[in-house]
Amino acid sequence: MPERQAAASVSLIRRIMRLVSILLPLLIALAAGHVAEGRPYINDKKAPEDSKDLLAIQKAVQEVLPKARAATVCIELGEGSGTGVIVSADGLILTAAHVSSGVGKKITVIMEDGARHKAETLGLVSDTDAAMARLTDKGPWPFVEMDRDQSTRLGDWVFSLGHSGGFEKERGSVVRLGRLVRMANSTWQSDCTLIGGDSGGPLFDLTGRLIGIHSRVGQQLGVNMHVPMSEYVNHWDAMMKSEFIGEGPFAKKPVKGNGFLGLATESAEDGLRVIKVGARTPAEKAGVKEGDIILRFNGKAFAKREEMRDELREMSAGDEVRLDIRRGGREQTITFELGER
Amino acid sequence: MNAKLPGLLAAIVLLGRTTAQQSLESDYRLTGPGVTSAFGAQRAVLQTSSAVILDGRREAGYGVVISADGFALAKSSEFSGLKKPALTIDRTKYEKVEVKGADQVWDVVLLKVDARDLVPVNYAPASDIAQGSWVVVNGATTRVNRRALAGIISAKPREIPLSGGAALGIVLKAGDKLEIEAVSDGSGAKEAGLRADDIITAIGGKPVKTVKDIAAALKDRKGGETVKVTYRRGRETKTSDVRLAAKGELFGQEMMSRNDAMSGEVSRRRSGFPRVIQHDVLANTSFIGGPVLDLEGRCLGMNIARANRAETFAIPAEELREIAERMIRAAR
């Protein structure tokens, strides 16, 4: 008798378990405080089973792709290129910290159609690879919605966009499909393959909402890492205020006075005469020659070399300098970045 | 007592789910059997209409079956290096494989095995299908069964220009004369029969006197084009059509970029194609040469180069069909 009772309660538990497993997606959504609207049914299946399921994924991607693509931009700065995504009509861009590489840097943004625009980097989180930038022109710009509530779940189908290897107009940004395969606090992993140039690019859910930003890859093809939206949401105000957050490794904090020009000067009649340019220095690479007269340094005229030294002490490696020089009676402007001392 | 059970159970299951949320089992990732098993119909097409290329016991790539009587296409530059090639189609291994022709523009070789009643691919009516559309290619095979791997069309169809610019494939001796020192293997110059000590006198009918003249004559030339090269050999003057190849690939001077370093294996010849479609299937170079199928099992193209970790190129169905028909006609 006691045995039979045990069996009965086991079967009851089984029945309840079955019920619970049906209710589970809903329960989890409730536990998270919301039910995601328009969540594609395919995400609550372990795997697609037939062509109907496969077509559901394909159709979802194709419906939202044009809008996602229009907001995805190539970012060029210095010698490198990455990707970013516009998230507001007035031109706010989310990207990776190792792409923006600093605060207040001037960057070039290339739209899908090849149009080039000016932008400037805002704040970044250097230890998780999140960063913001803003287009200089007011817009309105094409943009995508962000999944601020982080409603995405493990195994959800996702797609990535990015200017793999740099901007190629004939190709466009490259779309890749995958699933969310790992979720840790500040890093998500998908099996959408990424390559250099994709960094800073967007990861979308099947409804076209932005859920992550591409950061880095592992050795295996299935190991592709993204910064989740929470990193942006949690540091939103500070990033908007152009703060440099964290201690790296994805961006180096500027150190005042570590900028390096690579030339020696002496006072001349109407400025500073360059008496030596070091080999392989930023000045040499930018084309500064011995004998050039520096008329202005970042717009300021200096009569003594100590004045220029004091100005340099307020700057950091990676900062831009503009030299108005005179060479053989002709004036020209040379612009380049300071090296690291 | 029972009334409290569901809540408790839910909590436990929820907890279990939270822990499991760290990582998706590999079976259900993109290349896992849980996902690829949804492509059973396409796998059946790969079983009969793709050819496994073997080099001894090693799998060396794939081919596309294009006729019932034993013709198949494969990637030429990969096939030509094999020592002991054999083909497996469906469950039959063909030890004798004849090379019946090659198209250097597309890097395609025509193979023939002694077979009847093979099932050739059924070409899709158009290869320019929407981005995001599913595609299916060969995954790692067993001796008897093909496997499917899936991805999507991921960029616009387009030309892939010659990497590093166009080259004839010759190295010149130092000096004022345009005298050949060496001819590169796999180059158009080699195919056209040019050799050391020949002296280049004209390209495309225009006389050339310096290296700069040659560079100017080759500038803006496209992959697959040929140029008329006039040269002096001893007392004779000859003219040959020379196929242009990618400078970067010919001389192995292509810089090993950071992207190459993180890509793993890439195809040696991966540029200079008149038109390709692009997909994102997650695999190494092993599926190159095999068909790209759509969800209906029709052939959208043939995998021709893995360019990097995230980009694979395929010859589009329209061009593939033309190549197949032209080469079979020439071989019969």
- Whether residue A159 lies within 8 A of chain B, CB to CB, comes out as yes
Which residues, including other chains, have CB under 8 Å from residue A296's CB and lie 6 or more apart? A271, A322, A323, A324
Nearest to A12 among B2, B34, B35 (CB): B2
| pLDDT for residue A32 | 45
| pLDDT for residue A28 | 46
B217-233: average pLDDT: 87
| pLDDT for residue A252 | 84
Taking CB atoms and an 8 Å cut-off, how many pairs form between chains A and B?
156
Higher per-residue confidence, B158 vs B141: B158
Q: Which residue's structure tokens are 């791997």?
A: B149
User: What does pTM read for this prediction?
Assistant: 0.81
What is the torsional sign of CA A283, A288, A294, A299? negative
Give the DSSP H or E segment for A15. helix A2-31
Over residues A250-297, the pLDDT tens digits come to: 888 888 888 889 999 999 888 999 999 999 999 999 999 999 999 999
| pLDDT for residue A14 | 52
Taking the CA of residue B94 and the nearest CA in chain A, the distance in Å comes to 33
| Closest chain A CA to residue B37 | A49
- Whether residue B38 lies within 8 A of chain A, CB to CB, comes out as yes
Nearest to B30 among A12, A51, A179 (CB): A179
A window 14-33, beta carbon within 8 A of B:
16-17, 19-21, 23-24, 27-28, 31
CB neighbours of residue A54 within 10 Å: 20
Q: Is the ipTM of this complex over 0.90?
A: no
| pLDDT for residue A78 | 73
Taking the CA of residue A161 and the nearest CA in chain B, the distance in Å comes to 9
| pLDDT for residue A15 | 52
Closest by Cα among B200, B204, B208 to B171: B200
| pLDDT for residue B259 | 67
Of A44-48, A77-81, A100-104, A249-253, the one with minimum mean pLDDT is A77-81
Taking the CA of residue B33 and the nearest CA in chain A, the distance in Å comes to 10
Give the three-class secondary structure for B267: coil
A173-179: average pLDDT: 97
Nearest to A16 among B6, B20, B29 (CB): B6
B174-194: average pLDDT: 89
B305-313: average pLDDT: 91
pLDDT band at B118 (very low <50, low <70, confident <90, very high): very high
Token pair, residue B42, equals 């396409």
Over residues A207-261, the pLDDT tens digits come to: 999 999 999 888 788 889 999 999 999 999 999 999 999 988 888 888 888 888 9
pLDDT band at A314 (very low <50, low <70, confident <90, very high): confident
| pLDDT for residue B269 | 86
- Whether residue A70 lies within 8 A of chain B, CB to CB, comes out as no
Whole-number percent of chain B with pLDDT over 70:
89
User: Which residues of chain B are within 8 Å of residue A23 when distances are taken between CB atoms?
Assistant: 10
Asked if residue A30 has pLDDT above 60, the reply is no
Beta-carbon separation of B9 and A51 below 8 A = no
Asked if residue B115 has pLDDT above 70, the reply is yes
Asked if residue A36 has pLDDT above 80, the reply is no
Asked if residue A91 has pLDDT above 70, the reply is yes
pLDDT band at B178 (very low <50, low <70, confident <90, very high): very high
| pLDDT for residue B261 | 63
Closest by Cα among A89, A82, A92 to A236: A92
Asked if residue A24 has pLDDT above 60, the reply is no
Beta-carbon separation of A51 and B295 below 8 A = yes
Q: Can you tell me the distance from the alpha carbon of A38 to that of A36, in angstroms, rounded to the nearest whole number? A: 6
Nearest to B158 among A51, A170, A198 (CB): A170
| pLDDT for residue B326 | 97
Asked if residue A38 has pLDDT above 70, the reply is yes
| pLDDT for residue A223 | 87
Token pair, residue A272, equals 């500073």
Nearest to A181 among B6, B23, B155 (CB): B23
pLDDT band at A37 (very low <50, low <70, confident <90, very high): low
B314-319: average pLDDT: 97
Asked if residue A8 has pLDDT above 70, the reply is no
| pLDDT for residue B286 | 80
- CB-CB contact of B316 with B275 (8 Å): yes
B118-125: average pLDDT: 97
pLDDT band at A61 (very low <50, low <70, confident <90, very high): very high
- Whether residue A46 lies within 8 A of chain B, CB to CB, comes out as yes
B244-259: average pLDDT: 68
Average pLDDT score, chain B: 88
- CB-CB contact of B313 with B93 (8 Å): no
Higher per-residue confidence, A66 vs B260: A66
- E-strand ranges in B90-214 read 92-94, 98-103, 108-112, 134-139, 147-160, 166-167, 170-172, 180-183, 199-203, 206-207
Closest by Cα among B291, B290, B308, B288 to B299: B291
Over residues B71-113, the pLDDT tens digits come to: 999 999 899 889 999 999 999 999 999 999 999 889 999 999 9
Beta-carbon separation of A195 and B263 below 8 A = yes
Give the three-class secondary structure for A281: coil
Asked if residue B253 has pLDDT above 70, the reply is no
